[in-house]
Structure 1
C-alpha cells in the first residue's frame, strides 16, 4: 500500500491517494482533480472510492467531480444534508478497497458535528488513519467554524474525539490529517511532515492538557469565504473551468478600476511597490494569495488578474477556483506600462530600522495589519491596530499623513498598503520580519509586559 499526499500549501491542506498497485481510493480531494488523475495514471491504479472526512470550509471539494469522472463511489456522511447522490457512510461502516485495503469509518465530532475519520488496514503494514480536521499534527481542527453558538459544544466533542483516537488506536498507527499545514481550519500550524499516534500522544497539547483549558482557549478570526465554501460543498460542486480568462486592454482595465471592481496585481510586492497601475491591489501569487483575496474580497465582486506571465494568471485562477471564485472577469499579462496609458504609481518600501528613524524625526502613522492574537502577543507601542481583513471597512480610521504599514513578514503589509494607496493615501510598506522591530529600536510591548 502506498499513500501519496497531494499538498496544497497555499491553503495549508493535503489530499491523499492510497493504492495497492491495482486499485486506489482518495481522501478529501481538492477541486482541481487533474492532480489526482495524474497520480492515478502514474501509478496505473483504478479509482474505486472517494472519501470525505467532513463538509469542508476552507476549500471547494473535488470529490463529486472526481467520482463522476471515474465512476468511483463517493462516500459522504449519511447525516450531511447534501443536495446530490452519494454513497452514504456512517460510523462503523467498512469499505473494501480492492482485496488488500479495508477502510473503516469512525465518528469524530468536533471540527463539525458529523466529522468522520477513516482507519485503513492492509495486511503486513501498520494501520493508517486519515483524520481530516480531527487529530492533526500537534493540534486539532478548530471547533468554532459553525458559529459561536456551537463552539463550546464542539470544543468538548473535539477534545473527546482526539483523546479517544489516541487511546484506542495502536501507537504505530500513521496519522494523515487534511488540515494543519497552514490552514485556518487548524487550531495551530505545524511544521511536521509525518506523525504517528505514539508521537501525538507525546507532543500534541490537546492530548496532554486539561479539557477545560482547551475549551476555554480563544480562537482568532478565520477567512470570510469559509461560509460560502461550505454551502458550495453541500450543493455539490463540479469541476472548475480553468481555461484562460478573456484578455482586457487598457481601456477596459481603467473602466473596471473606476467602477470599483478589484483589479489584482499578482506580482511580488517589491515589483508592485516600484511601479503599478493606480487603483490596483497587490495580492502576490508568491504568498497566501487565495486565502487573503478570498478573505477581503466582497463576495461576488468581479476580479481581474494582472500577471507578468500567463503562468502567474493560470496559477491564480486555479487558486481562486479552489475557494469557489470560478471565473475571473478578465486578465492581462506583461508589465504596468502595458496595462495603462496613464502614469505609473509607486510607494516606498522600508525596514523596521527605517521606521525607527522616521518615528524619531517626524510624525508618522504606524498601521499594524496583523491578526488579534499576533497583536496581543506583542506590538509596537503607539501603532494603530487594524487587522488586514477589517482594513477595507476601516480605512477612515487610519490617521492622516504618511502611513507605514507592517505585518509579520511583508506580504500582508503590501496588501494593506495597496488598499490605502488605492484610496489615495500616502503609504510606506514595511517589508521586514517583525522580530527585527525591537532590535531596530522600536518600543515593542509584549504580552508579559502588558500582563
Structure 2
C-alpha cells in the first residue's frame, strides 16, 4: 500500500491518493483534479473509489468530476444527499474494493452533521484512517462553520467523534484533510499527518473531560469565517463543473469590462510604487485565492493586473478552487495609469514613525491575534472588515496611517483599501505587530 498526499497550502488542506495492488482511492480531491489523475497514471493505478469525508465548507470539490473522468465509484456520507449519482457510505458498513482492500465508514459528526471518516482495511487489518475534518493533528475540525445556532450541538458531537477515532489501534495512520493554515481547523493544528497513538498521547483536545467542557474550549475563541465559505457547501451539494480555462485574454487598461473588480497580483513593492487607482492589491502567493475570495464579492467579474513574467494560471486555479470562475482577463501594461501609490517600510523605519506623538496605527490582524499581542494606541480592524464595515472613524484622512499585520502581507492589502478610501497608508513590510511591539519597547 502507498499513500501520496497533495498539499494545497493556501487552503490548509490535503488530498490523498491511496494505491494497493493497482487499485486507487482518491480522498477529498480539490477541484483541479488533473494533478491527482496524473499521479495515478504515473503509478499505473486505476481509481476504484473517489471518497468524500463531508460536504466541504472551504473549497468546491473535484470528486464528482474525478469520478466522471475515471469511472471510479463516488462515495459520500449517507446523510450528505447530493443531487448527483453516488454511493452512500453508512456507518460501519464496509465498502469492498477487491484485492484485500476495504473501506469502513465511521460516522464522525461535529465538523458537519454528515461527516464520515474512512478506516482503511488491508486483508482485514486496519492500517489508516482518513479523518477529514474530525480528529486532526493536535486539534479538531471547527464545529461553528454552519452558524452559531448549531455550533454547540456540533461541538459536543465532535467530542464523541474524536473519542470514537481514538479507540482505533494506536499504529493506525491518521490522515486528516484539514491542517495548519485551514480556517476549518480549530487553533493549534501543526503537522499534517500522525498516528492514533500519537494523538492519544499528545492531542490536548482528547484530554478534555466531557462534551460540555470540550464545547466550551472549542467555541471560546473561534477564528473568523471567510466570506466565500457560505457558497461552498451548496455548490458541493449541487455538483461542480469542470475547471475553467486557465488561460485568460490580455486586456487593454483603457477598455476594462464595466463593473469588474480589479485585483493586482504583483509583488507588494511593485504595486506600492504604482498601481491602478481603485484596484485591490493582493500579491500572488499560496493564499491568494482565499483572500481574493474573502474580499471580492463572490462571483463578480475580476480583472487581474500582473507583471509580464507572472503565472496568471496559478491565480485562476486558486480562484477556481473556491468556485470563482469569473476572471475575465489580465492587464500587463498599465501605461500611464499607475497613479496609486503607498509607502512600504521596513521594521526600523516603521518603528521610528510609529513612535511619533501624532502617529496613527492600524492593526488589521485577526481578533485572536490582536488579543495575544496588541499595540498601545493602535486602532484594530480585521482586514475583511475594512471593506465590510469600513475604515475606523478614529483615523484621520489628513495624516498618514501606519498599518501592520503579522508579516506585511495583509498590511499591503489593507494599504490599497485605505488608499482608495482617501487615506495615506504606509505598510509595515516583512515584519508584524509582535516584532513592532518589541521594537517600540526598546
Query: Under a length normalisation based on structure 1, what TM-score does the superposition of the two structures give?
Result: 0.92
Post-superposition offset of 1:189: 4.6
Post-superposition offset of 1:126: 6.0
Q: Distance in 2 between matches of 1:90 and 1:227?
A: 27
1:90 matched to 2:93? The reply is no
Other-structure match for 1:307? 306
Q: Distance in 2 between matches of 1:442 and 1:419?
A: 29
Post-superposition offset of 1:17: 0.5
Q: For 1:62-108, what per-residue CA distance to the aligned partner results, in whole angstroms no more than 9, with x for missing partners?
A: 00000001111111122223111211121112112231311110010
1:359 matched to 2:354? The reply is yes
Q: For 1:186-228, what per-residue CA distance to the aligned partner results, in whole angstroms no more than 9, with x for missing partners?
A: 0025331431001001111110123333311321211011110
Post-superposition offset of 1:293: 1.1
Secondary structure in structure 2 of the residue aligned to 1:397: coil
Other-structure match for 2:228? 225
Secondary structure in structure 1 of the residue aligned to 2:438: coil
Q: Given that residues 132 and 177 in structure 2 are in contact (C-alpha distance below 8 angstroms), is that contact kept between their aligned partners in structure 1?
A: yes
Q: For 1:17-70, what per-residue CA distance to the aligned partner results, in whole angstroms no more than 9, with x for missing partners?
A: 101141111110100010111111110011111111000000100000000011
1:51 matched to 2:51? The reply is yes
Other-structure match for 1:404? 402
Q: Given that residues 274 and 338 in structure 2 are in contact (C-alpha distance below 8 angstroms), is that contact kept between their aligned partners in structure 1?
A: no
Q: Distance in 2 between matches of 1:382 and 1:213?
A: 36
Structure-to-structure mapping, 1:99-138, within 5 angstroms:
99-123=99-123, 127-138=127-138
Give the 3 Å change call, closer, same or farther, for CA 274–22 of structure 1 in structure 2: same
Post-superposition offset of 1:311: 5.1
Post-superposition offset of 1:386: 0.7
1:250 matched to 2:249? The reply is no
Structure-to-structure mapping, 1:367-378, within 5 angstroms:
367-378=362-373
Q: Distance in 2 between matches of 1:165 and 1:112?
A: 16
Give the 3 Å change call, closer, same or farther, for CA 287–67 of structure 1 in structure 2: closer
Give the 3 Å change call, closer, same or farther, for CA 294–52 of structure 1 in structure 2: same
Structure-to-structure mapping, 1:134-283, within 5 angstroms:
134-166=134-166, 168-211=167-210, 212-217=212-217, 218=220, 219-253=222-256, 256=258, 259=259, 261-283=260-282
Q: Distance in 2 between matches of 1:287 and 1:239?
A: 22
Q: For 1:99-121, what per-residue CA distance to the aligned partner results, in whole angstroms no more than 9, with x for missing partners?
A: 13111100101001111000002
State how many pairs are aligned: 434
Which residue among 330, 335, 344 is the counterpart of 2:339? 344
- Range with greater deviation from structure 2 (186-195 or 384-393): 186-195
Q: For 1:281-324, what per-residue CA distance to the aligned partner results, in whole angstroms no more than 9, with x for missing partners?
A: 11111241111111111223211112224652100000000001
Structure-to-structure mapping, 1:320-331, within 5 angstroms:
320-331=319-330
Q: Given that residues 179 and 191 in structure 2 are in contact (C-alpha distance below 8 angstroms), is that contact kept between their aligned partners in structure 1?
A: no
Q: Distance in 2 between matches of 1:28 and 1:240?
A: 16
Q: Distance in 2 between matches of 1:20 and 1:311?
A: 39
Secondary structure in structure 2 of the residue aligned to 1:4: strand
Give the 3 Å change call, closer, same or farther, for CA 213–355 of structure 1 in structure 2: farther
- Range with greater deviation from structure 2 (189-198 or 122-131): 122-131
Give the 3 Å change call, closer, same or farther, for CA 49–360 of structure 1 in structure 2: closer
Q: Given that residues 287 and 411 in structure 1 are in contact (C-alpha distance below 8 angstroms), is that contact kept between their aligned partners in structure 2?
A: no
Secondary structure in structure 2 of the residue aligned to 1:146: coil
Secondary structure in structure 2 of the residue aligned to 1:441: helix
Q: Given that residues 83 and 235 in structure 1 are in contact (C-alpha distance below 8 angstroms), is that contact kept between their aligned partners in structure 2?
A: yes
Q: Given that residues 268 and 286 in structure 1 are in contact (C-alpha distance below 8 angstroms), is that contact kept between their aligned partners in structure 2?
A: no
Secondary structure in structure 2 of the residue aligned to 1:106: strand
Q: Given that residues 9 and 181 in structure 2 are in contact (C-alpha distance below 8 angstroms), is that contact kept between their aligned partners in structure 1?
A: yes
Secondary structure in structure 2 of the residue aligned to 1:251: coil
Give the 3 Å change call, closer, same or farther, for CA 161–111 of structure 1 in structure 2: same
Unaligned ranges ≥5, structure 2: none
Which residue among 374, 382, 393 is the counterpart of 2:388? 393
